[in-house]
Structure 1
Amino acid sequence: MSAILSADDLSDFIQPSVACIKPIETLPAKSSIENNELEISFNSESQPTTAPPAEISLTDCLACSGCVTSAEAVLVSMQSHAEVLSELDSAPALRLRANTAGNIGIENLEDGGRIYVASVSPQSRASIAATFGVTEREAGFMIEQLLSGPKGIKSRAVYRNGFQWVVDTNVTREACLVLGAEEVIGSVIAGKGETKQPAKPILTSSCPGWICYAEKTHPHILPHLSRLKSPQALMGTLLKTTLSRKLGISPDRIWHVAIMPCFDKKLEASREELTDAAWEGTGIRGIRDVDCVITSKELLMLADSRRVDFAKLPRSPLPTRIPFPEARLDSFLFPAARRRKNNVPAAGTSGGNLYYILRYFASQHQGATVETSRGRNADVLEYSVTSATGEPLLKAARYYGFRNIQNLVRKLKPARPSRMPGGKPIGSARKVGGKSTSPDYAYVEVMACPGGCTNGGGQIKVDDPVVTGKAIGEVKSGPQEQKAWLAQVDEAYFSGGESGDDESTSDTPGDVVDGIDPSYIKNNLEHWATTTGLDLERLVYTSYREVISDVGKKVGETERVIQIASKEGGGW
């Protein structure tokens, strides 16, 4: 960060209907700070220019140049709906066939094409659902019809290529919830578990905007981050490892696009830790597990580019599909009935990490209850699991939005010794005598966007033409209007519970927590590892490191090219 503005001075990067912070280079030379020392004033006279599609938009994205390197900006701009169409038109797709024994084979390997797979987040489905007045489930069918159906993008494609499978990231979300609960319990019970545990409190790692911020501004936070991959990353690993092993092809013959609510997910997809080099153990630059990320807005751009009227797409599933090459994982990825229902408002709109951990921990203690108390604002909540006798068993919290995140990281910042002989330790995380004032949490769910992931920067906004039918600027889009619109998106997100009756998949009666059977999830993960011949820890865990940003530095063209070239194939 430049001397003009320190990381700790930033307010929220994004609020409902409020642009994120402008690049440091465009800040006025002299800024006036009023009342709140944590807030900065903006030059409201100059309006941000409209960025080309799929590039970092200063009005939509957390990843503005306040926290993204120049090389990363290029990596983000390379992922767009135009890139998806270009890839689909590059060569005939690999043709899959199923024989009488149910085995999947490949044709036209020599033509240079690929297998195309897509994964879709529930938050993106909710954004589409609110826009077109359908349920979250129906929105999922419309997306599947766009990507794979006869009336979708392949109807006007050069090679008539479409996506072979469209999967729901709720499947890997369930896996992340189960593994996350084990990780937290392992940290509470010292010595439990074989993997190295993060330091308490464990902080959510599935939000890439938050991870980017932590790696570049607060390295003392890194030991606290959950080691689990995000649902997006875990899905990418599952798809590429299984398909490459079962079909006998290289991972680069599999092309995976993820549809997400957030531009920062493009940064996550570019991490070198999330390539085949990590799970193969080669230690060299590898093939990305997620080749491209597009947002909910860009999904509509994808349809418009092929002159597909999204609103007229069928709201029913495709009649047939080729089975996934591994039978057990096919039933895991495409369950007959959706096990996961996003119909509990208390779980929030970011996947329910904290909610599931609290419910799971309480289920392990007979008579335990979960108590909630509000923090300094609506995006800070504190929770405690209390025994039947009133004894606190576990404390946790939810911190959404960068203003609240800054308060959290200050509390976790270790005290540093005074340079004065006999002086007391310096730092906000200390008491008299040098003792830490860090909150006694076992787990904290941290998300960059106030309100959670349904308010992601890549989501469709209240003033978008597809919502209003008018040009941008012709519709009032203040905080209240965007807040009301976000309530509609949230309602659509929770409408996912209307998908029908669940089928019981429990291996152990009474083991189900919040509609998820941990034993079923863990058995399928073990089967995945056995099928691919890879170590499960290498498949589901990742790592983090301190990153030096080039913000505020003048980078020459030669150095810029060297940076970009060194990042080819992935790397944060």
Structure 2
Amino acid sequence: MALSGALQLSDLNDFIAPSQACIKPVESNKTSDVQGTIKVDSSGSYYEVSQDGLETKLETATINLNDCLACSGCITSAESVLITLQSQEELYSILKQNKAAIEANDSTSHRTVVVSISPQTRASFAAKYNLSPLQVARKLTWFFKNLGVHSVFDTTFSRDLALLETAREFVARYRTALAQGKVEITSKEGDNSSSNAGGGDMDVDGSTSSATPATKTRRRIIRRDLGRDGPAAAVAAVETASALPMLASACPGWICYAEKTHGYILPYISETKSPQQIMGSMVKQHFGAQLGLRPDQIYHVCVMPCYDKKLEASRGDFYSDLYKTRDVDCVITSTEVEKMFTEQGLQEDLATFGEMNIDLGYTSVVKDPATGEDQVLLGSSGNASGGFLEYVMQYAAREVYGVDGVDVEQSRGVEVKTVRNSDFREVTLEVQGKVVLRFAAAYGFRNIQNLVRKVKGGKSPYHFVEVMACPSGCINGGGQLKQEASVSLKDWIAQVDAKYREGILARKPEENPVLAQLYQEWLGGLDTEKARQQLSTCYHAVEQNLVNPLAVKW
């Protein structure tokens, strides 16, 4: 009996609840059909006992982060389960090894330790301890360098690269889809108006000249839907180069969810790496080369607002077989950093810490333009999840339609609406009375589920969607510091969001002079194969091996 299409699930949790069945099947090598039993001794060890009484000790089953990519709520609801291989204990171990290497005068076992801190983490500490983001940056720099860390950067710098690459990728896809007649231009009232490759009076020529060679030729085909929407249902082939809506790729919780449950959605996801992983590439490849170090001689730690970032760092796509190292070796959340304060015998009040000037290099900091003396943090405009929607809209409006001055935050040049709930926003750009760009921001799994359902049915009206697994986005990541009991979550998120913007000098990514230098020195140009390798990634639909999916408890 089919259910009505109007029937909607209610009271959904924004995080996937834990399942009783693991997606990783137990490996069993049967050598005979002889039946036996399992016994447990006093030490807790397991033994298989054959019918003739022969006992064979069984190995303890182990899984790592790659086996547990958000298949249940233990990670997506930000509970620290199965993440001990990416914790402050690992950082302590490396620093201890470095100390021993220095004492033994053994340079071969010494590793240069680099810490990259996210702006959301800075905002979380700033809100809790009533400091400015600049003060937090300096105090965390002081803290980590006193532990033995060599360099402390921030991921705002790599986010500039991620924003620019995402925007360029979208424009290439949009122009390709436009030239192929796949983009519908609508009036404000919603009447369809067929878009021609020539673009008529809208000054759109449908050219795909912005597309990189790799974007032009890549074609990703998903032959089967491996998700929960049906048993291996066939889906239409999708060409990534023109797949719209393009879905943002910065949130690992969303990526894991898509790979595990909605394989058909993968061609729509942006191939640009997240700021964390671009930072990993820069630190291990470019920064290491400047110091004359191999990637495996650098230990790179990222401080993030989200436990899912540990999963992202552990992906096989970000591992070098040549050097046997990852781009990001360890991810520590904001709460774990705060725990480190007491572990190091320091007062928990960050305000009592010393301060140290922020390292120049991969850091978005400049001299105060007013005084010419003190440092000022730089950042992009837009929301606290990175501003992908805002920047891509601004960039596309200028590059495709010649519209300057778009500001989503100020609703200047675009229409901004909240749809259904506060975690779903819609942003539209009109040119000569026609809606030419329709973007959205979908936060939390309620909104994500609605989004993927519409994309699968070909009913999504959007060209680009910023997708984040957490309600309210990265500023409310599961690894962020928690509010006092007397403060409501809504008020706490507002406080952290305000700190995220406090004292930050807004700047467009293309205004970062170091980026042009990086493209030339490190990547050999904008559209090179090396640029694609270092700044782009791919995704993998994962087939679930549940014997009876109906038996899974959610």
Give TM class, smaller chain: 0.5 to 0.7
Q: Paired residue for 1:101?
A: none
1:537 and 2:537 aligned: no
TM-score under structure 1 length normalisation: 0.66
Secondary structure in 2 aligned to 1:92?
helix
Q: Report the CA distance between 1:405 and its aligned residue.
A: 0.3
Q: 1:256 aligns with which of 297, 300, 304?
A: 300
Q: Paired residue for 2:398?
A: 363
Q: Aligned AA for 2:339?
A: M
1:460 and 2:503 aligned: no
Q: 2:522 aligns with which of 519, 528, 531?
A: 528
Q: Paired residue for 2:496?
A: 489
Q: Aligned AA for 1:540?
A: L
Q: Paired residue for 2:227?
A: none
Q: Classify 1:68/1:148 alpha carbon distance in 2 versus 1 (closer, same or farther; 3 Å).
A: closer
Q: Paired residue for 1:126?
A: 123
Alignment of 1:173-572 (within 5 A): 173-190=159-176, 191-192=208-209, 193-194=211-212, 195-196=214-215, 197=241, 199-277=243-321, 286-311=324-349, 317-318=355-356, 330=361, 335-336=366-367, 340-341=378-379, 344=381, 347-364=382-399, 365-366=402-403, 369-387=413-431, 389-413=432-456, 429=457, 436-439=458-461, 441-463=462-484, 475=485, 481-497=488-504, 514=508, 516-517=510-511, 521-530=515-524, 535-549=530-544
Q: Report the CA distance between 1:352 and its aligned residue.
A: 0.1
Instruction: Judge conservation of contact 2:138–2:357 (CA < 8 Å) in 1.
Output: no
Q: Paired residue for 2:31?
A: none
Secondary structure in 2 aligned to 1:394?
strand
Q: Classify 1:302/1:183 alpha carbon distance in 2 versus 1 (closer, same or farther; 3 Å).
A: same
> Following the alignment from structure 2 to structure 1, what is the Cα–Cα distance between the partners of residues 516 and 10?
41
Q: Paired residue for 2:112?
A: 115
Instruction: Judge conservation of contact 1:63–1:263 (CA < 8 Å) in 2.
Output: no
Q: Paired residue for 1:46?
A: none
Q: Report the CA distance between 1:142 and its aligned residue.
A: 1.5
Q: Tell me, which stretches of 5 or more residues in structure 2 are unaligned?
A: 1-7, 22-63, 177-207, 216-240, 368-374, 407-412, 550-554
> Following the alignment from structure 2 to structure 1, what is the Cα–Cα distance between the partners of residues 354 and 434?
50
Q: Classify 1:64/1:338 alpha carbon distance in 2 versus 1 (closer, same or farther; 3 Å).
A: farther
Q: Aligned AA for 2:93?
A: S
Q: Classify 1:518/1:219 alpha carbon distance in 2 versus 1 (closer, same or farther; 3 Å).
A: farther
Secondary structure in 2 aligned to 1:267?
helix
Q: Report the CA distance between 1:214 and its aligned residue.
A: 0.1
- Larger strand proportion, structure 1 or 2? 2
Q: 1:144 aligns with which of 128, 141, 145?
A: 141
> Following the alignment from structure 1 to structure 2, what is the Cα–Cα distance between the partners of residues 449 and 536?
30
Secondary structure in 2 aligned to 1:78?
coil
Q: Report the CA distance between 1:163 and its aligned residue.
A: 1.1
Q: Classify 1:167/1:215 alpha carbon distance in 2 versus 1 (closer, same or farther; 3 Å).
A: same
Q: Tell me, which stretches of 5 or more residues in structure 1 are unaligned?
A: 1-7, 15-19, 27-54, 96-106, 155-161, 324-329, 414-428, 430-435, 464-474, 503-512, 555-572
Q: Report the CA distance between 1:89 and its aligned residue.
A: 1.1
> Following the alignment from structure 2 to structure 1, what is the Cα–Cα distance between the partners of residues 245 and 128?
38
> Following the alignment from structure 2 to structure 1, what is the Cα–Cα distance between the partners of residues 547 and 105?
50
Instruction: Judge conservation of contact 1:199–1:224 (CA < 8 Å) in 2.
Output: yes
Q: Classify 1:518/1:301 alpha carbon distance in 2 versus 1 (closer, same or farther; 3 Å).
A: closer
> Following the alignment from structure 1 to structure 2, what is the Cα–Cα distance between the partners of residues 172 and 210?
20
Q: 2:72 aligns with which of 65, 68, 73?
A: 65
Q: Paired residue for 1:92?
A: 99
> Following the alignment from structure 2 to structure 1, what is the Cα–Cα distance between the partners of residues 137 and 395?
29
Q: Classify 1:248/1:184 alpha carbon distance in 2 versus 1 (closer, same or farther; 3 Å).
A: same
CA RMSD of aligned residues (A): 3.5
Secondary structure in 1 aligned to 2:271?
coil
Overall identity of the aligned pairs, in %: 37
Q: Paired residue for 1:80?
A: 87
Q: Classify 1:386/1:121 alpha carbon distance in 2 versus 1 (closer, same or farther; 3 Å).
A: same
Partner deviation per Cα, 1:42-69 (whole Å, 9 max, x = no partner): xxxxxxxxxxxxx99xxxx994735879
Q: Paired residue for 1:426?
A: none
Secondary structure in 1 aligned to 2:116?
strand
Partner deviation per Cα, 1:417-449 (whole Å, 9 max, x = no partner): xxxxxxxxxxxx2xxxxxx3232x221100001
Q: Classify 1:390/1:543 alpha carbon distance in 2 versus 1 (closer, same or farther; 3 Å).
A: same
Q: Report the CA distance between 1:553 and its aligned residue.
A: 9.1
TM-score under structure 2 length normalisation: 0.68
Q: Paired residue for 2:185?
A: none
Q: Classify 1:73/1:544 alpha carbon distance in 2 versus 1 (closer, same or farther; 3 Å).
A: farther
Secondary structure in 2 aligned to 1:23?
coil
Q: Report the CA distance between 1:267 and its aligned residue.
A: 0.1
Instruction: Judge conservation of contact 2:301–2:329 (CA < 8 Å) in 1.
Output: yes
Q: Report the CA distance between 1:331 and its aligned residue.
A: 7.0
Instruction: Judge conservation of contact 1:339–1:515 (CA < 8 Å) in 2.
Output: no
Q: Report the CA distance between 1:552 and its aligned residue.
A: 8.3
Q: Classify 1:137/1:63 alpha carbon distance in 2 versus 1 (closer, same or farther; 3 Å).
A: farther
> Following the alignment from structure 2 to structure 1, what is the Cα–Cα distance between the partners of residues 83 and 309?
9
Q: Classify 1:366/1:405 alpha carbon distance in 2 versus 1 (closer, same or farther; 3 Å).
A: closer
Instruction: Judge conservation of contact 1:121–1:259 (CA < 8 Å) in 2.
Output: yes
